[in-house]
Every structure is written in C-alpha cells, then in structure tokens.
Amino acid sequence: MTQPILEVSNLRKAYRQGGLFGGSAGPAALADVSLALRPEDGKVLSIVGESGSGKTTLARIVLRLVTADSGTVSVAGQTIVASGARTVDNRTLRHLVQPIFQNPFEAFSLQLPVEEYLFRTAINLGDAAMRSNPKPAVEDALTAVGLGYARIAGKGIRAFSGGELQRISIARALIAKPRLIVADEPVSMVDASLRMTIVNLFKELSEQLGVAFVYITHDLSTAYYLSDVMAIMRQGELVEFGRPETILQSPRNDYTKALLDAIPTLDRRWSIG
C-alpha cells in the first residue's frame, strides 16, 4: 500500500472556555476524526462543513497552528503530530505543509511590499543556493501562478485585487516546495467571477507540480468541481467521506442531503411553500 499524503487518526480537540484561571473544556471542536488522502485516490481533498463544524480546527492542527488534545497527523509518511504533541521541527514541517488563508488582504502587511514575503520564505526555507540567490525561486513560483515578477515588484497589497493577492499567497506557499497545501476558505473573499480562476489554478498545480491540496470550504459546488475526495463535517464529526460523485448521488447522512438541497444553483429553483 502506498503512503498517504495526509493521514489523520483519532484527532480530538476541545477549546477551553470561560473562567479566569483556565476555565473548563468546551464542546468538542473535533471528536475523534480519522481520515486519509492516498495518492491512488487523487491529489485534492475537500473538507466541507458549516461554521463550527471543526473544519478550520482540523486545518489548523494539520498546519500545527493549533495543538490537538490527542491524535496523530502525518504528511507524506512523516508524523508531525503524535498524541497531540509535535514530532518534527518547524522547518521540516514547512517543507511538508504550507497554508493559504481566507482573506488575502489580512495575510500580507500593509507596510511591506508583498515580494518581501516571497523572498523571506525563500531565504528561510530554501537550500544554500536559494538562500544566496532567492530571486529565481520567487520568479518560478510567480510564473506557476500566472504572474510575472515585474507585476509585483515593489508593490504593496493596495495594488492588487483579491484574486491577484490570493495568487501571490499561493506562489509564496509553493516556494517551500511543500507536499501539501492547506487552503482554508481560499476563495470565499474572492469575487464569484474570479473564483474559478483560483480553483482551476489549484487543479493545474496539483496536476503539474504534484502538490496535494486540502481545500476547506462551505461551498459544495466548488468542492465537487475540484476534489478527488470529499469529507463532510458537522459538529466536530466526520459525517461523510468518499468520492464526490458517490456522495452527490447517494448521500448517506441527512445533513449531507440538507446541504446538497440548500445549494443555490442555476439548475433548479426551490419550491417555497
């Protein structure tokens, strides 16, 4: 059996709530979640769910921005979290998995030119050659997302649209040559007309560069379009997992059915009694 690109086992997390001195454990944000993305299944795993479903917590644990209470996470065969604790250093981690966040306007500082982020990533995470001359790596990453270096040179975030900034976020993530990119609601702040451009870019990058994606979203239609494997979460639990075609044709869970019925598509109009 081939090694999974991402494997999550028995992950649990409850945020503490209330109290001046630490409070008590709140409801489970993740209640014993296990899932895997295997190379034979494809390169893109979507995690779909409403607010509070635990999808962002899961993403943040994989990125190690949040500590799990218990459970194991491994990326490309390397365990990065075991029994909730870190097992590799941050530098190794950033070569395995990179983030793309929801709001590209908040991902970059207003004070710094955006290229600074790309150069710093190249210098921090690159090999000796890249550290001494980071520019080719930056240019390659920008070319991969369809931008030229000249377009971004010296410019701050105000010079870009949301779609362009999200491309720059993707270029930054690519510099580290990660095995996996975790994108948390990457197109929800982007105009509908540009959404497909970004989603298509994920598809293209996964096919051409072989990088895998975890695509976190509440939008089932783009998840269906993009993903090879789909996970549906609700209240900290995985309620459905499988190929998008199978889930669409025969949803097993009532919540999945409600989710599918609630999508406003052009193809049908709700009958409102």
Partner 1 sequence: MIVVDNVVAGYRTPSGIVKAVDRVSLEVRDGEILGIAGESGCGKTTLLKLLYGNLADGLEILSGRVYWRDPDGRRTIECADFRKHWWEIFSYVPQGSMSALNPLMRIAPQMLDAGTGGTRPDMAARRARIAKTMAELDLPERTQRLYPHQLSGGMRQRVLIGLAAYVDPDVVLADEPTTALDVVVQRQILENLVRLQRARQNAIVIVSHDLGLHAQIADRVAVLYAGRLAEIGTADAVLHRPAHPYTQGLVDALPRLGDKRPRQGIDGRPPDFMAMPQGCRFRPRCNRAIEACAGVDPDPQPHQGDRTAACIRLAEATA
- Binding residues for partner 1, rule: CB under 8 A, are 50-51, 161-163, 191-200, 218-222, 224-225, 248, 258-267, 269-270, 272
Distance of closest approach, residue 162 Cβ to partner 1, in angstroms: 8
**Angle, alpha carbons 233-234-240 (nearest 5°):** 45
Strand order in the sheet with 85-86: 24-37, 6-17, 70-75, 78-82, 85-86
Distance of closest approach, residue 167 Cβ to partner 1, in angstroms: 12
Distance of closest approach, residue 140 Cβ to partner 1, in angstroms: 22
Q: Which is nearer to partner 1, 7 or 164 (CB)?
A: 164
Distance of closest approach, residue 26 Cβ to partner 1, in angstroms: 16
Q: Which is nearer to partner 1, 143 or 200 (CB)?
A: 200
Distance of closest approach, residue 138 Cβ to partner 1, in angstroms: 23
Q: Which is nearer to partner 1, 132 or 158 (CB)?
A: 158
d(CA 161, CA 167): 10
d(CA 198, CA 186): 8
Long-range residue pairs from 91-97, CB within 8 A, at least 24 positions apart, any chain: 91/124, 91/125, 93/64, 94/124, 94/125, 94/176, 94/178, 95/125, 95/176, 95/177, 95/178, 95/179, 96/178, 96/179, 96/180, 97/62, 97/63, 97/178, 97/179, 97/180, 97/181, 97/182
d(CA 76, CA 3): 7
Q: Which is nearer to partner 1, 89 or 254 (CB)?
A: 254
Token pair 């999945």 is found at: 256
Distance of closest approach, residue 6 Cβ to partner 1, in angstroms: 22
Q: Which is nearer to partner 1, 150 or 266 (CB)?
A: 266
Q: Which is nearer to partner 1, 129 or 263 (CB)?
A: 263
Q: Which is nearer to partner 1, 208 or 265 (CB)?
A: 265
* Contact indicator for 251, 224 with CB cutoff of 8 Å: no
Distance of closest approach, residue 222 Cβ to partner 1, in angstroms: 5
